[in-house]
Amino acid sequence: MLVNLEINKENLRKNLKKIRSINKNIICVIKDNAYGLGIENILPILLENNCNYFAVAYIDEAVKIREILKNFEKEKKLGFLENKKINIMVLNYIEPKNLKYAVENDVELTIFNFSQLSNYLKILEESFENTVLKIHIKVNSGMNRLGFNESEILELIEIIKKYEINSKNNKLEIISIFSHISDAENQIETEKQVEKYENILKIFDKNNVKYQYKHLQASPLLFKYGEKYNYDFARVGMALYGMEPLSYDVGLFDVITVKSQIINIRNVKKNDKISYGSKGIVKRDSKIGIVSIGYAHGLQKQIENSQEAYVLVNGKKAKIVGEICMDMIFVDLTDINDVEINDEVVIVGSQRNVENGTQKKITLRQVARWVGTIQDDVLTKFSGIKKQ
Ligand SMILES: *Cc1c(COP(=O)(O)O)cnc(C)c1O
């Protein structure tokens, strides 16, 4: 593949430092294959920087982390890991058939409704003896996605009391009670959600439920309110990878660069058509470059509807023109001198203009605007690109 994605380790480290300057206890969110960047690429960087708590979406991802750690131990690659416990929590749903793996490999699960809890308890009672499942209880503070409502907490506590650690059944160890904020930049909504979360915690406390931690922050809440909602952990994803979590920039460092190459150049006349369909009518005599990236690599087709979208060639803007193809795009090179086949094209990231030494940059946020989506969507779509 001519397309590749580079991960800037040093900038990821700087983002980590920035995050830690607000909350030093973080659960690094590497769900959905580390937002498309590859758990195998991101995990070692985080481990080297002393991260030891990770959140994933699926059991397979927890399996992958445990396997990577085993290999590291075998190869004695990360000596400092030796006495360090690595915690893994799963944020999404785990099918009951995978419970065995979670228990055997010390994977902590999120419990978010009664049917899930009773299915797990049934398996724990039938198939495991003297086994404790580590759980995080998710409560609904207003997003209405996963989590127990305030009105369900007493019923939940009744079940927990029967199974909690050191009770007669001794099946559940509650690691945390947590929630997720849906609209951090809306202060009124956020305060309501925090209040709801606090009220729910009070119910657990009043009933003497034993749990270790509370956590509420994801990247937006952390950067919007600083230490105010620190609790015991921040669960951070997007900020690690350099995506700006708020509508204004908080000064994170760019972690990814997506690059390709020009594979063909041709001259076309005013009013000639380019690419599929008839939308791509050239308005002047033009030099058109064909770049080896398309929607199969995750450059979303909707970007063709933007009048502004461009890539960088020789450190200059080259507009994306015509319809996006599966593995190629058309760019306007008319105003760029000295371009040749095989020249580098930057789709996300920085490139230097050789003539005057200046840097030009395309951010994930910019691409998201052109496509009409959010940065996380742009980034995860690049999951199939080879990483460097
Ligand atoms: C994805 C996710 C996070 C991380 O969110 P970012 O905004 O990427 O930092 C935290 N908590 C939960 C429950 C999530 O699903």
**pLDDT tens profile 7-64:** 999 999 999 999 999 999 999 999 999 999 999 999 999 999 999 999 999 999 999 9
d(Cα 99, Cα 285) in Å, to the nearest integer?
64
**pLDDT tens profile 160-211:** 999 988 888 889 999 999 999 999 999 999 999 999 999 999 999 999 999 9
- Is the pLDDT confidence value at 80 over 80? no
- Averaged over 245-253, what is the pLDDT? 96
Taking alpha carbons only, the member of 105, 179, 186 closest to residue 142 is 179
d(Cα 252, Cα 172) in Å, to the nearest integer?
39
Q: What angle do CA 366, 370, 371 make, to 5 degrees?
A: 115
Tokens describing residue 231 = 């609790």
Q: What is the mean pLDDT of the chain?
A: 95
| Residue 3 DSSP one-character state | -
* 236 within ligand 1 shell (Cβ under 6 A): yes
pLDDT at 170: 86
Tokens describing residue 239 = 């900020």
d(Cα 268, Cα 198) in Å, to the nearest integer?
65
Going from N- to C-terminal start, the domains of the chain cover 9-236, 256-387
Packing angle, helices 9-20 and 39-48, rounded to 10: 60
pLDDT at 169: 85
Q: What topology is assigned to 256-387 in CATH?
A: Lyase, Ornithine Decarboxylase; Chain A, domain 1 (2.40.37)
Q: Are strands 329-332 and 316-321 parallel, antiparallel or unpaired?
A: antiparallel
* 219 within ligand 1 shell (Cβ under 6 A): yes
Q: Is the dihedral of CA 148, 153, 155, 160 positive or negative?
A: positive
Residue 308 burial (10 A CB sphere; 0-12, 13-18, 19+): exposed
266 belongs to an annotated ligand binding site: no
Q: Which CATH class for the 9-236 domain?
A: alpha beta
> How far, in Å, is the centroid of ligand 1 from the Cα of 180?
8
- Averaged over 138-156, what is the pLDDT? 97
> How far, in Å, is the centroid of ligand 1 from the Cα of 323?
34
* 237 within ligand 1 shell (Cβ under 6 A): yes
* 362 within ligand 1 shell (Cβ under 6 A): no
Q: Is the dihedral of CA 282, 288, 290, 296 positive or negative?
A: negative
Substitution site in 23, 27, 28, 29 for ligand 1 pocket (most atoms within 8 Å of beta carbon): 29
- Averaged over 92-110, what is the pLDDT? 94
* 64 within ligand 1 shell (Cβ under 6 A): no
Q: Containing H/E element for 299?
A: none
The residues with which 289 forms a beta bridge, in sequence order, are: 265, 331
Q: How confident is the model at residue 388 (pLDDT cuts 50, 70, 90)?
A: confident
> How far, in Å, is the centroid of ligand 1 from the Cα of 315?
34
